[in-house]
Amino acid sequence: MPSPDRPLRKLGFLTIGLFDPADPAAGHRSTLEIIELGERLGFDSAWLRHRHLQFGISSPVAVMAAASQRTSRIELGTAVTPLGWENPLRLAEDLATVDLLSDGRINPGVSVGEPMNYGTVKHQLYPDTADTEDFSYARVERFARLVAGEKVREFSGKQGVVEEFSNRVEPHSPGLRDRLWYGAASLKSAIWAGENGFNLLSSSVVFPGPDEEPDFAEVQQRQIRAFREAAPGNKARVSQGLVVIPTDSASPAQKEKYQRYVDERTPRTSAPQGPKGMLFARDLIGTSDDIAEQLYAHKGFQEVDEVAFALPFSFDHEDYVQILTDIADKLGPALGWAPAE
């Protein structure tokens, strides 16, 4: 539990990698520059959201590969990759390759479930198997086994003069299985993640149980505690991701822009949303000291010792530079964190 006398251990940030469809290359380069800045500022990790058929990063594995060659220390993760869009074997190959290229800095976060707006895309995504695809936990269990290096088939060895085959996913990256994360928003998923050897990504969205009061922080706290109880040896990592917008060095125009963004999003936090009663966390805006005070009082934050603060979706490059700099120089130290050297 972070407190004024117990420091935050790891500080990261999360970005959607927004781009202009008229010039997508510029947006991707901006994301890489932000990751490089994060390393210079001493952040422990940089995380990428995964967006399909939107104007955000659709291939975080490729972006992490590029970022791994521009950085040397900062950890790189996905928060999260929806496995309903992926072939688990191919994804395991790609992630292991990038993990080796980064010297073991990749933290893949995944989730399961039917792809968003599946009915509009299923016949392009799975033209022959759209109605029989399994989007349950079994899909992520298979992915984890493949990453761990378990046997894919019996066949292996040399065939012909030069062809040599393996019976597991290659390349194999030792240690990558221990760095798999699961993005859970319900008590059931949090417990499942703990029981199955995943680290836990808890973000700004949770689903309360039928008998739970609709209080975001309390629901998140219960989920994290249940995860820790379920995790073998209680050693699995937990990261919390909230939107924080420090304004210490922001210009008047930036402060006005940021406040409009928060005001537009705040109404959805006042009551459960949708048929499942989804709860959204409030965006935290203000000086770093004000935000630190709010975090120390947040029951979800009290359960973690590492965070990946989410950058707002629709801001400009210079806004992200200001926000990250204030987080590293002001908010992180207010939480007891010290930048990596």
Q: Strand, coil or helix: what is 328?
A: helix
Burial class (CB in 10 A: 0-12, 13-18, 19+), 105: buried
Rounded-to-integer distance, Cα 59 and Cα 48, Å: 9
Q: How wide is the angle at C-alpha 281 spanned by C-alphas 295 and 249, nearest 5°? A: 55
Q: Strand, coil or helix: what is 65?
A: helix
Bond prior to 312 in cis (omega within 30° of 0): no
Rounded-to-integer distance, Cα 106 and Cα 47, Å: 10
6 touches 37 (CB < 8 A) = no
Question: Residues with Cβ < 8 Å from 40, sequence gap 6 or more?
Answer: none
Please state the domain extents for the chain. Answer: 10-334
Rounded-to-integer distance, Cα 55 and Cα 49, Å: 11
pLDDT at position 1 is 46
DSSP secondary structure string, 180-218? -EEE--SHHHHHHHHHTT-EEEE-SEE---TTS-S-HHH
337 touches 8 (CB < 8 A) = yes
Q: Strand, coil or helix: what is 224?
A: helix
Say if strands 106-107 and 109-111 run parallel, antiparallel, or are unpaired: unpaired
Tell me how far CA of residue 211 lies from CA of 41, 109, 187, 277, in angstroms: 43, 29, 12, 12
CATH number for region 10-334: 3.20.20.30
Say if strands 75-78 and 45-48 run parallel, antiparallel, or are unpaired: parallel
Tokens at 187, concatenated: 């008590």
196 touches 144 (CB < 8 A) = yes
pLDDT at position 44 is 98
What is the pTM (predicted TM-score) of this model?
0.96
Rounded-to-integer distance, Cα 288 and Cα 329, Å: 9
pLDDT at position 5 is 65
Which residue, chain included where needed, has tokens 């975090």? 295
Q: Strand, coil or helix: what is 167?
A: coil
Tokens at 178, concatenated: 């221990």
pLDDT at position 292 is 98
* Residue-level pLDDT, tens digit, the chain, 341 residues: 455 667 899 999 999 999 999 999 999 999 999 999 999 999 999 999 999 999 999 999 999 999 999 999 999 999 999 999 999 999 999 999 999 999 999 999 999 999 999 999 999 999 999 999 999 999 999 999 999 999 999 999 999 888 999 999 999 999 999 999 999 999 999 999 999 999 999 999 999 998 899 999 999 999 999 999 999 887 799 999 999 999 999 999 999 999 999 999 999 999 999 999 999 999 999 999 999 999 999 999 999 999 999 999 999 999 999 999 999 999 999 999 999 98
